[in-house]
A and B are shown apart, each in its own frame.
Chain A
Amino acid sequence: MEIKPPPETVEQFNGFYRSDLKSLIWLLAKAGATRTEAEDVAQEAMLVLLGAWSSVHNRRAFVRTVALRGLYRTWDSRKRSTDAEQRIASRKDWLETFDANEDVDRTLELLESLPTAQREVFALRIDGFSEKEIAEITGKKETTVRSNLRHARDKMKSVLRRSTTGKEEDHGP
Chain B
Amino acid sequence: MDRDIELDRLLDRASKAALESLDAKVDVHQQLRRLLERARVEPGQTGSDRLGLG
Contact = CB atoms under 8 A, between A and B. Distances in A.
A7 B51 contact: yes
Chain B binding surface, main DSSP class: helix
Contact of B39 (A3, A21, A160): A3
Contacts of B38: 1, 47
Contact of B15 (A21, A47, A126): A126
Contact of B14 (A7, A101, A153): A101
B13 A3 contact: no
A21 B11 contact: no
A25 B13 CA distance: 17
Interface of A: 1-7, 10-11, 14, 17-18, 21-23, 25-26, 29, 39, 43, 46-47, 50-51, 97-99, 101, 103-104, 106-107, 110, 126-127, 153, 156-157, 160-161, 169
